[in-house]
Amino acid sequence: MTKFLHHSPCENCGSRDNLAVYEDHTYCFGCRQYNTLNGELPKIKERTEFKNMIDGKVEALPSRKIDSETCNKFNYQTGVYNGKPVHIANYYDKDYNIVAQKLRFQDKKFTWLGDTDKITLFGQNIWRDGGDKSKLIITEGELDCLSVSKVQQNKWPVVSVPSGATSAKKYIKKELDWISKFSSIILMYDEDEAGKQAVIDCASILPVKKVKIATLPAKDPSELLQSGRGEQIISAMWEAKSYTPQGIIEGSDTKELLLKDDFVETVPYQWNGFNNKLGGIRQGELVLLTAGTGIGKSQVCREITHHLISKKQKVGYIALEESVKRSIRGIVSVGLNQLIHLPDVREKISEEKILEEFDKVKNYICFYDHFGSSDTDDLMNRIRYMVQSLDCKTIILDHISIVVSGIGEGDERRLIDNTMTQLRKLVEELGCALFLVSHLKRPEGKGHEEGSQVSLSQLRGSSSLASLADAVVAFERDQQDEIQNNVMKVRVLKNRYSGDTGIACNLIYNKETGRLTEGTFDE
């Protein structure tokens, strides 16, 4: 036996005084590492001391069925803080200094002492960097970490995130280099909603081929150990499933997608030219309607709305540049072939006839009485309500520039990008059809009011208007032409359904009835 000299901190496991220094060797009673000195005393790193931390003692936790050997391994202690008994989870920095303590009270409340900005994962200080055959288990709490380590005799590396599920991703990201050195990374989080979400969040930033997800038959490892089912923790560890990122599908699993057609509810347009190009109005698609000022976009919306109503399809009608009164009068006018918002026309048609047409549409349409407000989040919720609660199959939104103008100051392109992304997601989520009106930028030379041809590059505000829409339909009309100022050329600029673009048809406006009817066109 060589002469014992003194106790010192252990550089390997980070304990304060578990390292016994002899004349010719050292031995750590914490991590059990033996080193020969060859006449040289061990080098002791200078350690940072935090005066407000407390001293405790390592002992078994009988109520948790965790032995003293496991607690000693992790330097997990019990003590007293402000007269109350506490558990003390000691946290270390990358240089194996104890820099913080997480105190757990009997009522399950927590408080921190020390510098939490420097902490690593709980238990990280114990384990050497992973080798080719090493596995690492990550838990959601310190007691879970101790439970997992105890049942497998402290053999495999186990660590815990410091503050539960909500901040798990932050700490995993911070220690990503260290974690990634292990050949197998097993996430063993709590079996509750927060834990399941944290598993997805953390797995998404870890090396895909290394990550596995453990499923527990109880809330957490600590509960299993306390109930005498420690062997089920071992089973969960060995049966952990490899993580597959959401949305990834193997080609061999796409056979049904190849052969089976999903039913998509489709309503034909009232205009043959539209059907020939676009193949009808389909649920789950976003169609962008665009034209210059005063060309007739709003009338197109009214015509489509009335047509859908005639097919018993309920429509959510959101016209942000006009009142609900003007909207309902415009739609009823389509059915009457009379412009009832004009005073001289209104005098010639009976209220009975107006109400007769109103009765045909009233149960198949709803409006958004916006009062000049166009807050984006509020608008999205209104659309969701129209579809999910009022059974609207189609939404008409006229127009997007008004929506983003209500958001406040900011870059119009970015605001339109954000709004279009939300609308695209909403259409996918709800499975409704959406007709969205957009304005155009003023072209150089001849303007759109003089019949200038429309291109995708002229959409006002953002390229996302075209990229996120399933179809883009433009309307061109020369308002100054003495003969054909009532003829609107319909041009399909984008068509994700079939790829068929170009002129679809002409729509001829009848000034007496206010209706749009399909006509022929010359290429």
Contacts of 139 (CB under 8 A, 6+ apart): 145, 148, 158, 159, 160, 161, 188, 189, 220, 221
* pLDDT of 519: 87
For residue 46, pLDDT over 50 is answered with no
What is the pLDDT averaged over residues 239-262?
Answer: 81
For residue 49, pLDDT over 60 is answered with no
Residue 34's CB is within 10 A of a number of other CB atoms, namely 8
What is the pLDDT averaged over residues 104-117?
Answer: 92
**Token reading at 69:** 């050997």
Phi-psi region of 21 (alpha: psi -120 to 50; beta: other; left: phi over 0): beta
Please report, rounded to a whole number, the percentage of residues in the chain having pLDDT higher than 70: 90
What is the pLDDT averaged over residues 83-95?
Answer: 94
* pLDDT of 408: 54
What does the radius of gyration of the chain's CA atoms come to, in whole angstroms?
35
Please report, rounded to a whole number, the percentage of residues in the chain having pLDDT higher than 90: 64
pLDDT tens digits along 338-376: 999 888 888 889 999 999 999 999 999 999 987 555 568
How far apart, in whole angstroms, are the C-alpha atoms of residue 307 and residue 304?
Answer: 5
**Token reading at 154:** 């402290």
List, as one string, the DSSP characters of 33-71.
Answer: -EEE-TT-PPP-------TT----B---BGGGTB-HHHH
For residue 262, pLDDT over 90 is answered with no
* pLDDT of 523: 43
pLDDT tens digits along 369-399: 875 555 688 888 899 999 999 999 999 998 8
For the chain, what is the mean pLDDT? Answer: 88
pTM score, two decimals? 0.58
Model confidence at 38, pLDDT cuts 50, 70, 90, reads low
For residue 449, pLDDT over 50 is answered with yes
Model confidence at 502, pLDDT cuts 50, 70, 90, reads very high
pLDDT tens digits along 386-444: 999 999 999 999 888 877 765 555 577 888 888 899 999 999 999 999 999 998 888 87
For residue 134, pLDDT over 80 is answered with yes
Model confidence at 48, pLDDT cuts 50, 70, 90, reads very low
For residue 208, pLDDT over 90 is answered with no
* pLDDT of 346: 86
For residue 265, pLDDT over 70 is answered with yes
What is the pLDDT averaged over residues 100-110?
Answer: 93
What is the pLDDT averaged over residues 211-230?
Answer: 95
What is the pLDDT averaged over residues 276-300?
Answer: 94
* pLDDT of 416: 85
Pick the more confident residue, 132 or 505: 505
DSSP 8-state code for residue 227: T
DSSP 8-state code for residue 215: -
For residue 198, pLDDT over 50 is answered with yes
Contacts of 7 (CB under 8 A, 6+ apart): 17, 18, 19, 20, 21
